[in-house]
Amino acid sequence: MEEHLPAGADHPDADPLDERTDHYGRLYTPWRMEYIRDPGRSEEGCPFCVDADSFDDSRVLHRGQTAFVILNAYPYNPGHVMVIPYTHTDDYTTLSAAETQEIADLTQRVIRAMAATVSPHGVNVGMNLGTVAGAGIADHLHQHVVPRWGGDTNFMPVIGQTRVLPQLMRDTYDLLKPALEAQMP
């Protein structure tokens, strides 16, 4: 028996909750709403504003003068790190020259450490400035450095709310930390 769609089913404003009138495939990721809806984060509640000495040493790869390098607690890939200034700001233009320089320097050193240890095929480097730009923690800017390999993407995070990581965080730490520290003056 052929199903007859209501008039206007092809209209772009078709009801997305009515699969009879919605012709778009949608993948919902409701767990991301906690990042979008949390405008109440303050400097006191910022996970990056904790004194760097208080961070679990199993994630901190390096503590610099104005910034530090830490393994991302929710990595896209093994070796996903963040370079974070100690200064609590969401505005990149307010960073001092020293902060900007150290973030750039640490990013280069991280990329070299990755090349020497995990041999990525490529690397994503970037900041998401603002919630609408994708920042999960928008109040405190941070630079992501993500090693990439051909074929490293899949639908598990979207469909199964699961991320498949082929390496334990401790093993990643044990590879990257000595390689990064070896580059420090």
| % the chain with pLDDT above 90 | 35
Q: How many helices (H) and strands (E) does the chain have?
A: 4, 5
pLDDT above 50 (res 40): no
Rounded to the nearest integer, the mean pLDDT of the chain is 77
- In the prediction, which pLDDT does 41 show? 45
Helices (H), the chain: 33-36, 97-117, 156-159, 169-181
List pLDDT tens digits, range 52-65: 556 557 688 999 99
Q: Report domain extents, the chain.
A: 32-181
- Region of 56 (left: φ > 0; alpha: ψ -120 to 50; beta: rest) is beta
Please state the rounded mean pLDDT for residues 102-112: 97
List pLDDT tens digits, range 70-96: 998 878 888 899 999 999 999 999 999
pLDDT band at 21 (very low <50, low <70, confident <90, very high): low
Distance of CA 15 to CAs 11, 21, 27, Å? 9, 6, 16
User: 46 and 144 in contact (C-beta within 8 Å)?
Assistant: no
142 assigned to active site: yes
3-class secondary-structure state, position 147: strand
pLDDT band at 51 (very low <50, low <70, confident <90, very high): low
Say how far apart CA 103 and CA 132 lie, in whole Å: 23
pLDDT above 90 (res 35): no
- Global pTM value: 0.69
- The single residue of 62, 80, 140, 142 carrying the catalytic annotation is 142
pLDDT band at 105 (very low <50, low <70, confident <90, very high): very high
- Region of 134 (left: φ > 0; alpha: ψ -120 to 50; beta: rest) is left
* Encoded tokens for 75: 């990595």
pLDDT above 60 (res 5): no
Fold of 32-181: HIT family, subunit A (3.30.428)
Please state the separation of Cα 137 from the chain's center in Å: 9
